């Protein structure tokens, strides 16, 4: 069981279940498959058997932008430019210098009527599957590419049995997996490696595109001389300190202004507090005064009434 959030280093994250290539490098006109099944694996073989070709296929699937990818690193070769996407698709395997020629001619297994398919499927402990696939072919002399991400297992034999440059293969996948569901199980990105890369890091749980660049570097790393430089270039996000400073300064000015306004308002409240207390006291005394005046007016009426009663009583006594 593999899981993106597992704390075990031997099973955490998405791990490679299988990798398939068709018409890639010297693997000609047949589907070649390796199947680690999520396990740590060692790829061995004689010189020229295709070990680097397989690694570069996986590198191509995970690092789609050519500017971030360097082929033939894992072999230890210092010739960084001797392998390209085109040479892999056409099956270049050497050069020959013909008699009388001024330059060597590349020897190739295939011509530009061919096509190439790369496919890798990953899984985690939550039984989630992510399958990456890329197709390459030529339109005239220009190489065309199509990128895709599936959330189900796919294989070249079962799902790409017949390629055509009219996108009928794509329509077949759409019909089979996306026709009766709201959430697409197979996503296509045509010739848009940037969109493919952003979606790739999202579905595999990566934090940024830096992860793809880091993968490219670690594939062929032999000696790490400058650890600080390696981390700064390949692992830390590019930041613009001036823009960050301006943003921080503006935020500080805004916060300072808000604090000053709060302090000013608080001081105003402090100065108004005695007035408020006096107003409360005045209100209390005014109320007491009104009660006393009311009591006085009642007392006048009471004494008038009592005086009349006493007068009437005394009058009756005298007349009697």
Domain-located, residue 9: no
pLDDT of res. 1: 44
> How far is residue 131's CA from residue 153's CA, in Å, rounded to a whole number?
6
- What the block records as the tokens of 85 is 């996407």
pLDDT of res. 220: 60
CATH for 95: 3.40.1140
pLDDT of res. 71: 80
pLDDT of res. 34: 92
Q: Which residues contact 216 (CB under 8 A, 6 or more apart)?
A: 59, 63, 68, 69, 70
3-state class (DSSP) for residue 317: helix
pLDDT of res. 163: 81
Q: Do residue 67 and residue 168 come from a single domain? A: yes
Q: Do residue 201 and residue 309 come from a single domain? A: no
Domain-located, residue 4: no
Domain-located, residue 178: yes
Q: Do residue 206 and residue 308 come from a single domain? A: no
Q: Of the candidates 222, 249, 283, which is a domain's last residue?
A: 222
Q: Of the candidates 222, 252, 270, which is a domain's last residue?
A: 222
- What the block records as the tokens of 264 is 């000013």
Q: Name the pTM for this structure.
A: 0.65
Domain-located, residue 2: no
Q: Do residue 180 and residue 146 come from a single domain? A: yes
Residue 261: give the domain boundaries.
Answer: 239-320
Q: Do residue 22 and residue 153 come from a single domain? A: yes
Q: Do residue 294 and residue 161 come from a single domain? A: no
Q: Do residue 218 and residue 243 come from a single domain? A: no
Domain-located, residue 107: yes
Say how many domains are in the chain: 2
> For the chain, what is the total number of helices (H) and then of strands (E)?
8, 8
Q: Do residue 211 and residue 307 come from a single domain? A: no
- In what helix (H) or strand (E) does residue 202 lie, and over which residues does it extend? helix 193-203
Alpha carbon separation from 136 to 109, 111, 261 (Å, rounded): 16, 13, 63
Q: Do residue 145 and residue 44 come from a single domain? A: yes
> How far is residue 171's CA from residue 249's CA, in Å, rounded to a whole number?
53
Q: To which residue do tokens 């005064």 refer?
A: 289
> How far is residue 136's CA from residue 193's CA, in Å, rounded to a whole number?
13
pLDDT along the chain (320 residues), means of 10: 52 86 92 90 83 88 82 58 84 76 77 93 90 92 92 93 82 88 88 87 81 71 64 67 87 94 92 86 90 88 87 83
> How far is residue 229's CA from residue 225's CA, in Å, rounded to a whole number?
9
Q: Do residue 247 and residue 315 come from a single domain? A: yes
Domain-located, residue 230: no
Q: Do residue 295 and residue 166 come from a single domain? A: no
Domain-located, residue 111: yes
pLDDT of res. 227: 66
Q: Of the candidates 171, 195, 222, which is a domain's last residue?
A: 222
Domain-located, residue 1: no
Q: Do residue 126 and residue 183 come from a single domain? A: yes
């Amino acid at each position: 069981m593999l899981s993106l959030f597992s704390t075990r280093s031997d099973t955490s994250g998405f791990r490679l279940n299988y990798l398939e290539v068709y018409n890639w490098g010297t693997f000609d006109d047949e589907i070649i498959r390796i199947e680690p099944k999520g396990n740590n694996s060692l790829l061995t073989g004689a010189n020229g058997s295709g070990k680097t070709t397989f690694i570069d296929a996986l590198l191509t699937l995970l690092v789609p932008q050519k500017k971030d990818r360097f082929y033939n690193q894992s072999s230890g070769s210092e010739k960084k430019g001797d392998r390209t996407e085109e040479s892999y698709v056409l099956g270049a395997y050497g050069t020959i210098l013909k008699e009388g020629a001024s330059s060597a001619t590349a020897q190739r297994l295939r011509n530009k009527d061919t096509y190439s398919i790369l496919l890798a499927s990953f899984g985690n402990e939550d039984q989630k599957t992510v399958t990456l696939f890329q197709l390459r072919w030529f339109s005239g002399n220009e190489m065309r590419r199509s990128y895709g991400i599936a959330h189900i297992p796919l294989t070249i034999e079962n799902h790409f049995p017949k390629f055509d440059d009219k996108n009928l293969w794509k329509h077949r996948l759409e019909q089979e997996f996306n026709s009766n569901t709201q959430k697409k199980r197979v996503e296509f990105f045509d010739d848009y490696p940037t969109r493919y890369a952003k979606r790739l890091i999202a579905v595999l749980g990566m934090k940024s595109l830096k992860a793809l660049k880091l993968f490219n570097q670690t594939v062929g790393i032999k000696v790490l001389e400058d650890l600080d430089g390696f981390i700064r270039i390949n692992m830390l996000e590019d930041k613009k300190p001036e823009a960050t400073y301006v943003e921080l300064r503006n935020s500080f000015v805004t916060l300072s202004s808000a604090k000053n306004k709060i302090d000013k308002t608080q001081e105003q409240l402090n100065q108004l507090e005695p007035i408020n207390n006096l107003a409360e006291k005045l209100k209390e005394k005014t109320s007491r005064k009104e009660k006393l005046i009311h009591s006085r007016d009642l007392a006048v009426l009471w004494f008038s009434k009592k005086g009349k009663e006493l007068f009437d009583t005394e009058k009756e006594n005298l007349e009697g």
